[in-house]
Amino acid sequence: MEIIAVERETQFQEKEPKNDIIEGRNAVIEALRSGRAIDKIFIARGDVDRTLGHIASSAREKGIVVVEADRRKLDFMSQTHAHQGVVALAAVREYCELADILDAARGKNEAPFVIVCDEISDPHNLGAIIRSAECAGAHGVVIPKRRSAGLTAIVAKTSAGAVSYMPVARVPNIPALLKDLKKQGVWVFGTAADGNTTLYQADLKGPAAIVIGSEGTGMTRLAAENCDFLVSIPMKGKISSLNASAAAAILLYEAVRQRG
């Protein structure tokens, strides 16, 4: 059976709402055939029969992430308890392309303003970031295909409906995306506690992409290496870090202040 990628398994903190889950072989095959937006497909580790192989191959052709998962995880996700070794997690809306985000900025005659989420795995954090991005007038949000929350119903709920208005692109590789943005004249600002530029020194008025790292470890090494600036947020208390979505909101609204 061909699998696109094997991801680190993370425990679901709560069950996804029922309308996110597509389970069972025929149901997943029909969802793929109909072109429904699918975030990820989880297939039971060790199952190698032809039908599951067909599902994995069809998903790969459509650019959908396929993850090998322990059957206990599938059992936990399942609503019907009859998943037959496959569960798909539907997206609440279609993803866009980076070009769509940049074109939207040009259409408004504005300097591009993009938020890049580098492995934000908590759907509540991703939803809050999308909500702040929409309120701050960002042109789009970018997430990686793997090791990231997707546009699930929890994300949509946490975003308070902002996913309906904020374009979200999904890319295979964040460092490659940052290189592409820089080639297109966009300055890349990464967030880091030990950054060499403080928040109030950063010039966010022009074409800008703000990179927000993961909840536990911050930006990945390759993402950090592809930033033009590493920006630190002043910390006056005894705790030296902020929640990812809080850090994003602070940078977003400093950009709003500067961009007028």
Q: Model confidence over 184-216: pLDDT tens digits?
A: 999 999 998 888 899 999 999 999 999 999 877
User: Does the structure show a pLDDT above 90 at 39?
Assistant: no
Q: Are residues 147 and 171 in the same domain?
A: yes
Of 45, 63, 90, the one marking the end of a domain is 90
> Is residue 202 in some structural domain?
yes
Whole-model pTM: value is 0.83
pLDDT single digits (tens) 41-73 = 999 888 768 889 889 989 988 888 898 888 889
Rounded to whole angstroms, the Cα distance separating 199 from 251 reads 7
> Is residue 5 in some structural domain?
no
Q: Which amino acid is at 24?
A: G
- State the pLDDT at residue 18: 53
Q: In what order do the strands lie in the sheet with 38-44?
A: 21-23, 86-90, 38-44, 65-69
User: Does the structure show a pLDDT above 80 at 1?
Assistant: no
User: Does the structure show a pLDDT above 50 at 10?
Assistant: no
- State the pLDDT at residue 5: 41
- State the pLDDT at residue 181: 97
For the chain, the average pLDDT equals 88
Of 90, 114, 130, the one marking the end of a domain is 90
Q: Are residues 239 and 200 in the same domain?
A: yes
Domain that holds residue 124: 98-259
User: Does the structure show a pLDDT above 70 at 14?
Assistant: no
- State the pLDDT at residue 13: 41
Of 73, 90, 107, the one marking the end of a domain is 90
> Is residue 9 in some structural domain?
no
- State the pLDDT at residue 190: 94
> Is residue 250 in some structural domain?
yes
Provide the H-helix boundaries in the chain: 25-34, 50-61, 71-77, 98-107, 123-136, 153-158, 174-183, 221-225, 244-259
Q: Are residues 204 and 106 in the same domain?
A: yes
- What does R_g of the chain's alpha carbons equal in angstroms? 19
